[in-house]
């Protein structure tokens, strides 16, 4: 398997008395869509900052697209990664949405005659094409997040890191953005890493990684991890809505399989009604 990210025995602490990562190991394949979950203080957002070189680990190794992350390779590593933070105000540069999306393209010397089509196409992906001439600071929190995501997508990085990047969106908006990003990941073979509390979004990932107490506690397909409700409870994590409903129905004596998939849940309920 072609691993685009390798994290080996990583240790990090913001202060000497409180270690955050304690020998964390993780590999992510090229084109994979991974959701990293964990309770507050588990170290999941710290992983994102370390991958981008915003902070430096005490020990361990990070390899991104074949390059070891160090001072000499920092610029080349960062060229592979696009990151969207939880607070989009921290990322705005331009005076309009159009200028803001264009900023990154200018930095990588995209020809002016090609730029406008790229800006419009990526604004459309996040349903912000009607706001290209608006000032970012006058947008709602959710709209700002959409613009930040559009700017990241426009750069076509090998890796996209979303650090709670849809937290200000309503459920409909989160679903739209997550579907767009998943499609882009498949079409362009882009690796997507979502640092998230959103279990409904995480269940759409190809792999879930649960981090707690500074190490990876468990990883696997979403259904493998989420169906273990005792583990999820021990990690202080929520479970998908469909699993909550199917579990309660099973406890009430209905012949139904636990599932994290809402369509599968509806199909099972319909089958039960047909048998009455």
Q: What is the pLDDT along the chain (276 residues), one digit of tens a residue?
A: 689 999 999 999 988 778 899 999 999 999 999 999 998 888 888 999 999 999 999 999 999 999 999 999 998 998 899 888 877 777 777 789 998 888 888 878 888 888 899 999 989 988 899 999 998 888 887 788 888 888 888 888 999 999 887 777 777 777 777 777 777 777 778 899 999 888 888 888 999 999 999 999 999 999 999 999 999 999 999 999 999 998 998 888 888 899 998 889 999 888 887 665
pLDDT in the model for residue 22: 93
- Residue 163's φ and ψ, nearest 5 degrees, are -95, 90
pLDDT in the model for residue 92: 76
pLDDT in the model for residue 186: 79
- Nearest Cα neighbor of 88 from 124, 126, 117 is 126
Query: CA–CA separation, 32 vs 6, rounded Å?
Result: 13
pLDDT in the model for residue 276: 59
pTM to 2 decimals? Answer: 0.87
**Angle between the N-to-C axes of helices 141-154 and 112-125, in degrees from 0 to 180, rounded to the nearest 10:** 130
pLDDT in the model for residue 275: 67
Q: What stretch of H or E contains 11?
A: strand 3-15
The alpha carbons of the chain give a radius of gyration, in whole angstroms, of 20
> If you ran DSSP here, which 8-state letter would residue 131 be given?
G
* CB burial of residue 71 (10 Å; 0-12, 13-18, 19+): exposed
CB 76 within 8 A of CB 70: no
User: How far, in whole angstroms, is CA 100 from its chain's centroid?
Assistant: 21
Query: CA–CA separation, 164 vs 184, rounded Å?
Result: 18
pLDDT in the model for residue 166: 76
CB 152 within 8 A of CB 83: yes
Could you tell me which residues are beta bridge partners of residue 209? 36, 219
Kindly state the tokens that stand for 25.
């190991």
pLDDT in the model for residue 118: 93
């Amino acid at each position: 398997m072609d691993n685009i990210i390798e994290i080996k025995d990583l240790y990090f602490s913001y202060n000497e008395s409180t270690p955050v990562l304690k020998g964390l190991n993780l590999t992510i394949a090229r084109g994979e869509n991974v959701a990293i979950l964990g309770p507050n203080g588990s170290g999941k957002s710290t992983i994102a900052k370390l991958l981008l070189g915003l902070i430096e680990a005490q020990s361990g190794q990070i390899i991104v697209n074949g390059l070891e992350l160090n001072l000499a390779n920092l610029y080349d590593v960062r060229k592979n990664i696009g990151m969207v933070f939880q607070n989009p105000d921290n990322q705005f540069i331009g005076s309009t949405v159009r200028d803001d999306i264009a900023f990154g393209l200018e930095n990588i010397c995209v020809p002016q005659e090609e730029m406008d089509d790229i800006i419009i196409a990526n604004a459309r992906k996040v349903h912000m094409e009607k706001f290209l001439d608006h000032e970012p600071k006058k947008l709602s929190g959710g709209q700002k997040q959409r613009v930040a995501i559009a700017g990241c997508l426009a750069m076509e990085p090998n890796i996209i890191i979303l650090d709670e990047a849809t937290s200000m969106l309503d459920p409909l908006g989160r679903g739209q953005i997550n579907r767009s990003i998943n499609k882009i990941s498949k079409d362009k073979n882009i690796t997507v890493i979502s640092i998230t509390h959103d279990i409904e979004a995480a269940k759409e990932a190809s792999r879930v990684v649960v981090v707690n107490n500074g190490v990876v506690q468990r990883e696997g397909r979403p259904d493998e991890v989420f169906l273990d409700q005792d583990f999820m409870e021990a990690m202080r994590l929520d479970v998908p809505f469909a699993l909550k409903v199917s579990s309660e129905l099973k406890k009430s004596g209905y012949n139904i399989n636990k599932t994290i998939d809402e369509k599968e849940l509806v199909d099972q309920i319909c089958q039960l009604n047909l048998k009455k």
